[in-house]
Structure 1
Amino acid sequence: MNLSHEEEENSLSLSKFESMLKTNKVFFFDSEEFEDIILHYMDTGRLNLAKKALKLGLEQHPKSTGLKLVQVEMLVYEDKLDIAEKLLNELYAIEPTNEEIYIQKANIHSKRDEHEKAIEFLKIALKYTDDYADVYSMIGMEYLFMDNLELAKENFIKCLDEDTEDYSALYNVVYCFDFLDQNEEAIVYLNKFIDKNPYSEVAWHQLGRQYYALKNYEKAVWAFEYATLIDESFLGAIMEKAKSYEKLKKFQEAIDCYKIAIELDDPSSFVLLRMAKCYERLGNAEFALNFYLKTVHEDPLLDKGWIAITDFYIRQKNYQKALYYVNKAIGIDGDNPLYWKRFAAVNSALHFFEEAEYGYRKAFESGDVNLDTFTLWTDVLQFLGEFETAIEILLEATNLFPEEYEIEYRLAGLYFLSNENIKGNFHLNNGLRLNYKNKTVLKDYFPVVWERTEVQNQIAKFKK
């Protein structure tokens, strides 16, 4: 790797400084060398070495404003804000036009959550700085802290007007557009940005993301394609292009993208799972199964992988295999309600109703309170003749779903089967009131009750 001249000098300075520490010899460095050494150690989290370098630097250059400003930065880093502020005031008296003084004052106010004051000092810094981009970016961040997304966006755009390669600012601009639900406006801005910077793969990628958010998947593919033409190893753009192809039902093209992603990086369980689903959509069950198995091999704790392979066998109507894999999943994570729900569904398909009831009960105990969990659970209990338990569960479900016809029709049927006709009529009326059209729930799940004369009379009376 070829180092720039500046990087080489920094590397030599660091080597020389560390050699000095080992030998206890005192070498001379100019003040800027000390600044670079100190900032390097601060950036890499080696604060003790940064402090040693600062101490030696100030001994050799006691009047250096640059070193004192680095000292301020260190004090701010350590939350010694009052000391830092006092030192800044001393420096201000000497160099009132030094933009770094105002930037550090802004940092202090920012740390105190005084973001408006921080912005005031940054605006003063703009008068004296040559690096407008950096200051606009800092102003943008202060507005972000204040949740003023519009002004944050405005300042990040100003930053990019000064420095089109500040990708951090570009990401922040797009974040603001996203947060404000301004996808169309983001597209307009990014297209203008790309007109001036056609080889910005990051801008093309962000443009693709905006089109994807608007469900314009053709345009999303187009934008991601440009991002990958500029940078063939842009993994994020390749992955999102694949997802866009999936949305367009172009599953082979999606697979081709995922294959490139695997060549660029170690195969992740997510990529393998997506490939499996694509192969299944193409009707290639053999390849689909192969990739489903690779998914759970790559990440045995990925619940989506185990559920996917279980569902694959359910779709194949191979319930014995499905039961085998869902049991493996439960062996890994016995508290996952999704596993227990699949366990229940598979056992129900195999007519193992006691096991199915146990599965729905475990799913509920593991935190699953979806409506279909309650209805499927009580349907199994009804089949087992456990009407009283089914009624108790449905009454509990009404606390979560107080106006749900699926529950009311089932309660009506169960009460009629239990010869509690008054309660049965009450819940039948509730069901008819909530959804008259779907009264066939009663017919489908309780055909004997449906045929009762009093039930038909009640339905006819309600219709009138």
Structure 2
Amino acid sequence: MDADDFLDEDVTSNVQRYEKMLRNKTQDYFDAETLESIIEFYINKDKLKAALEVIYYGENLYSYYTSFGVKKAEVFVMMGKFEDAIAEIERLELYEPFNAELSLLKGETYLNMEEVREAEECFEKALMHTDERIDTLFEIAYVYEDCDLYEKAIYYFDIIIKENKDNEQAYYEIANCYDVIGRYDLCIEYYDKLINIDPFSTNAWYNLGVIYTKMEQYEKSVDAFDYCLAIDDDFVAARFNKANALVELDRFEDAIEEYILTIDKEGPDSITYCNLAGCYERLNENVLAREYYKKATRINPNIAEAWFGVGLTYEKEGFMKEAISYFKRAALLEQDNPEYLLVLAEAEYRSGNPAEAKDLYKRLIESDPTMMEAWLDWSFIEFMEEDPELAIGLICEALKIDYDCHQYHYRLVSYLYATGKTKEALEHLDIALMINFEDHFLLFELTPALQNVKEILTAIELNRP
């Protein structure tokens, strides 16, 4: 148990003591700092009314303690009571007219009231009277971010970079703002400008690489990360992200080299081991892939991706019993991950366990009735078990949810033909061809014999674009 755990226990104990006092209508002793921690507890739980009651209680006990007034104003802002917040802040300003924290809070309140000019005046006042200029600039920028005023947030993050070019967080925040507003072009322009001013800015090169990655321009992102690493070979985040970009370019051997260097410089990490294993898996090096997936699980037993990866390597080698065991472990860790359950269901069916597979497909559909793969795979099992009527029924249920899904219609054609329902089959074929003609090959993948059926071929030709 670390120090934070002890602090959490202490706060919980104080909250329980406070609530017991209220229930019993008795009196107990709480110092001002303890009451502050109780207020924060309620705020974090979004129990704003309870937080306000503690504030009033604290003010009655410690009228000189201005922090309660600040908390009151903060809670008023959270409750949308902006006029009350302004009134409380102005009351506090009578005693502390040059308090930067009050000016910040007042600016935030005005911004929430859409009174931008008043907010800007408050922020300027906060900057005039703060001893922590960079922290205050961050606070102002975050307020603008929270109000979806990203251009203004960028303005303040830019000031931070100009005053402290090594501030990594500011570079990240600017990239995030441009990402949110979808202006990657302006973001690239911004970092290019910084690089022209300082070609050795690792932060600029790194974030430029990140932006190119988000734009899926992986060659350019690799180049940017390479420049960053040429300046600072120990910039581990650049090396890791370069490896990720190389994976997207299918350059798995190069990516492996970068992941190994990342581990050498930063030490073992479950995510890096997982990514490294994925590269070996793509190269069909299943033994090596399994080795690194297992290393990931030893570092972090709760990393579902690694357990799933081990299962995939066993599945590729035909060891289905072992594969199923690992798939189950992954699905247990991430119960809301449909991919794991889909693969597990398929593995169960291939291993001769159709009942288990059906249960899994049913579970998936109950969780998400729009999951096309589950409907198709479940119906396929019923069809292969010589119960085409049940297979037809399942697809008809799926069509009630998504009638425009051409995959359902193509599948239904196969099932209907198998039961001699030619007219209905052709009706669904026409619908499927109208929705998506190009995918008519799906029909022949499941039932190759339909390629020799004259009515099928005629319908395809009649619907050809």
What is the CA deviation profile of residues 339-371 of structure 1, one whole-angstrom value per residue up to 9, with x for unaligned ones? Answer: 332233224444654554444334334547432
Return the match for 2:70 from 57, 68, 76.
76
Q: What is the distance in 1 between the residues matched to 2:140 and 2:463?
A: 66
The residue aligned with 1:89 is 94
Name the SS for the 2:94 alignment partner: helix
What is the CA deviation profile of residues 410-457 of structure 1, one whole-angstrom value per residue up to 9, with x for unaligned ones? Answer: 223323433444433432332233344544444443456665666566
The residue aligned with 1:307 is 308
Contact 1:242 1:258 in 2 (8 A): yes
Q: 1:132 to 1:363 in 2, by over 3 A?
A: closer
Q: Which moved more, 1:353-362 or 1:306-315?
A: 353-362
Return the match for 1:105 from 103, 106, 129.
103
The correspondence of residues 91-170 of structure 1 with structure 2, limited to 5 A, is 91-92=96-97, 100-101=98-99, 104-111=102-109, 113-114=112-113, 116=116, 117-124=118-125, 137-170=138-171
What is the CA deviation profile of residues 153-210 of structure 1, one whole-angstrom value per residue up to 9, with x for unaligned ones? Answer: 2233234334434444333322222222222322222233234445543333212212
Q: What is the distance in 2 between the residues matched to 1:172 and 1:332?
A: 32
Unaligned runs of 5+ in 2: 1-32, 40-63, 75-84
Contact 1:177 1:186 in 2 (8 A): yes
Contact 2:161 2:167 in 1 (8 A): yes
| Number of residue equivalences | 395
Q: 1:131 to 1:162 in 2, by over 3 A?
A: farther
Q: What is the distance in 1 between the residues matched to 2:383 and 2:121?
A: 70
What is the CA deviation profile of residues 200-248 of structure 1, one whole-angstrom value per residue up to 9, with x for unaligned ones? Answer: 4333321221222233334433433444455555432232122123234
| Counterpart residue identity of residue 210, structure 1 | I
Q: 1:71 to 1:372 in 2, by over 3 A?
A: same
Q: 1:432 to 1:111 in 2, by over 3 A?
A: closer
Unaligned runs of 5+ in 1: 1-40, 48-69, 93-99
In angstroms, what is the RMSD of aligned CA positions?
4.0
The correspondence of residues 268-283 of structure 1 with structure 2, limited to 5 A, is 268-283=269-284
Q: What is the distance in 2 between the residues matched to 1:184 and 1:178?
A: 10
What is the CA deviation profile of residues 90-140 of structure 1, one whole-angstrom value per residue up to 9, with x for unaligned ones? Answer: 554xxxxxxx44662342342573462332222355678898766655543
Q: What is the distance in 2 between the residues matched to 1:202 and 1:187?
A: 13
The residue aligned with 1:424 is 425
Q: 1:447 to 1:175 in 2, by over 3 A?
A: closer
Q: Which moved more, 1:331-340 or 1:416-425?
A: 331-340
Greater Cα radius of gyration, structure 1 or 2: 1
2:404 corresponds to 1:399: no
| Counterpart residue identity of residue 91, structure 2 | K
The correspondence of residues 36-435 of structure 1 with structure 2, limited to 5 A, is 75-77=69-71, 79=73, 82-92=87-97, 100-101=98-99, 104-111=102-109, 113-114=112-113, 116=116, 117-124=118-125, 137-228=138-229, 232-265=233-266, 267-329=268-330, 337-350=338-351, 353-367=354-368, 369-435=370-436
TM-score of the superposition, structure 2-length normalised?
0.70
Q: What is the distance in 2 between the residues matched to 1:293 and 1:129?
A: 51
Contact 2:212 2:218 in 1 (8 A): yes
Q: What is the distance in 2 between the residues matched to 1:101 and 1:334?
A: 50
| Counterpart residue identity of residue 146, structure 1 | C
Q: 1:204 to 1:452 in 2, by over 3 A?
A: closer
TM-score of the superposition, structure 1-length normalised?
0.70
Contact 2:70 2:89 in 1 (8 A): yes
Q: What is the distance in 2 between the residues matched to 1:458 and 1:195?
A: 62
Q: What is the distance in 2 between the residues matched to 1:165 and 1:309?
A: 41
Q: 1:170 to 1:72 in 2, by over 3 A?
A: farther
What is the CA deviation profile of residues 392-414 of structure 1, one whole-angstrom value per residue up to 9, with x for unaligned ones? Answer: 21112113432222211222332
Name the SS for the 2:398 alignment partner: helix
| Counterpart residue identity of residue 161, structure 1 | K
Q: 1:149 to 1:286 in 2, by over 3 A?
A: same
Q: 1:158 to 1:390 in 2, by over 3 A?
A: same
